Chain A
């Protein structure tokens, strides 16, 4: 092998990736060739010199910016999850309320739908008892208030016309013959 080929194989030689025969050939060549020996040193030195480019520190703002971005994304994720869940709950709640409303309406409508039952219930009502239950009518203050309103003509008393008066009024109306 000439110097050019030897030098091309130097990195592989240093990485111990060559066959025994290639290694022997290179080592024999290096014993006698100064240029290739220099090149061998240059390859290892330059690789070592790359260490002069040491690591840089990560700017603090980069990490902070990333963490705030992650935090925003997490919030968005929660919103993405929570929104459909909340919407579903609202729909379920609404449907439940509506269903309960229908059920209550049904309970009311059942006795109303049965007129016979209603009339029976109506017949069973004791009117005196009903009036007795209306405490407000028994409240003297109520009657006093009504009397007072009457006295100031706020509630004028309207007397019902007697049957004879209405008959007279009707007969006095002019009869138009066409």
Chain B
């Protein structure tokens, strides 16, 4: 039976290097991909992944399992990602207090366009990239990490309703952006 993340953290706390390697192997991909999708830069995503696990290692001495391990893990990643954005200084960063929801684009008739997998991928990346950053994070956590709204709310430090609002609005924007696109079979 697979050892739980919390059990691994307890072993890491006792200085077990093997437990850290197991935890790293288990979560490195999701951490890297969350940072990559959010920041769009592989080098920055690598840095985020390394810093996240170094923080976990450092915090293992004082770690107490109050929430799901992944909630704590993704909160670290989210904070590091937003720190990177702040350092870039020219970013459409949405304040948590001042919820900004862009207007929906006007509905247009889009003929169905059949595109390749790579083209669809690029279009998806472009469409997600256009979303405001808080919305982007909510979408990524919901779609690519399969998290529930309450978990996303805990990670993002906002209400569940705020998360729902962001994801719902994002779905409508993405529907406009990706309307009529179908992958070639």
Interface of A with B (CB < 8 Å)? 7-8, 10-12, 15, 17, 35, 39, 42-43, 45-47, 49-59, 61-63, 65-67, 69-70, 73-74
Segment of B77-85, B92-100, B121-129, B151-159 in the binding face: B121-129
Interface centre among B17, B128, B176, B179 (most CB of A within 10 A): B179
Q: How far is the CA of A56 from the CA of B21 in the complex (A)?
A: 20
Does B64 lie at the interface of the complex (its beta carbon under 8 Å from any beta carbon of A)? Answer: no
Sample 9 A-B pairs with CB under 8 A, ordered by A number: A8-B172, A11-B171, A52-B117, A53-B144, A55-B144, A59-B46, A62-B28, A70-B20, A70-B53
Would A50 and B32 count as touching, CB distance under 8 A? no
Would B24 and A66 count as touching, CB distance under 8 A? yes
Does B137 lie at the interface of the complex (its beta carbon under 8 Å from any beta carbon of A)? Answer: no
Does B130 lie at the interface of the complex (its beta carbon under 8 Å from any beta carbon of A)? Answer: no
Q: How far is the CA of A85 from the CA of B57 in the complex (A)?
A: 23
Q: How far is the CA of A159 from the CA of B175 in the complex (A)?
A: 128
How far is the CB of B30 from the nearest CB of chain A, in Å? 8
User: Out of B24, B104, B128, B168, which one reaches A50, CB within 8 Å?
Assistant: B128
Would A39 and B175 count as touching, CB distance under 8 A? yes
Would B50 and A46 count as touching, CB distance under 8 A? no
Identify which of residues 1-44 in chain B touch chain A, using a CB-to-CB cut-off of 8 Å.
Answer: 17, 20-21, 24, 28-29, 32-33, 36-37, 42
Would A65 and B29 count as touching, CB distance under 8 A? no
How far is the CB of A43 from the nearest CB of chain B, in Å? 4
Would B54 and A55 count as touching, CB distance under 8 A? no
B112-135 toward A: CB 8 Å interface, digit per residue (1/0)? 000001001100110110000000
How far is the CB of A74 from the nearest CB of chain B, in Å? 7
10 closest Cβ pairs, A-B complex: A11-B168, A46-B178, A42-B175, A62-B46, A11-B171, A52-B120, A43-B175, A46-B174, A46-B175, A52-B121
CB-based nearest B residue for A62: B46
Interface size grouping (class) on chain B: 35 or more
Would B172 and A43 count as touching, CB distance under 8 A? yes
How far is the CB of A11 from the nearest CB of chain B, in Å? 4
Q: Answer whether A49 and B124 are a contact pair too, CB < 8 Å, given A58-B28, A58-B32, A74-B17.
A: yes
Q: How far is the CA of A51 from the CA of B175 in the complex (A)?
A: 14
Given contacts A12-B164, A54-B121, A61-B46, 11 further A-B pairs with CB under 8 A are A10-B171, A17-B164, A46-B127, A47-B175, A56-B36, A58-B46, A59-B42, A62-B32, A67-B21, A69-B54, A70-B53
Q: Answer whether A47 and B179 are a contact pair too, CB < 8 Å, given A52-B121, A57-B29.
A: no
Does B181 lie at the interface of the complex (its beta carbon under 8 Å from any beta carbon of A)? Answer: yes
Would A43 and B171 count as touching, CB distance under 8 A? yes
* B residues less than 8 Å from A57 (CB atoms): 29
User: Out of B53, B169, B176, B183, which one reaches A52, CB within 8 Å?
Assistant: B183
Would B29 and A55 count as touching, CB distance under 8 A? yes
Q: How far is the CA of A65 from the CA of B50 in the complex (A)?
A: 8
Does B141 lie at the interface of the complex (its beta carbon under 8 Å from any beta carbon of A)? Answer: no
Would A66 and B53 count as touching, CB distance under 8 A? yes
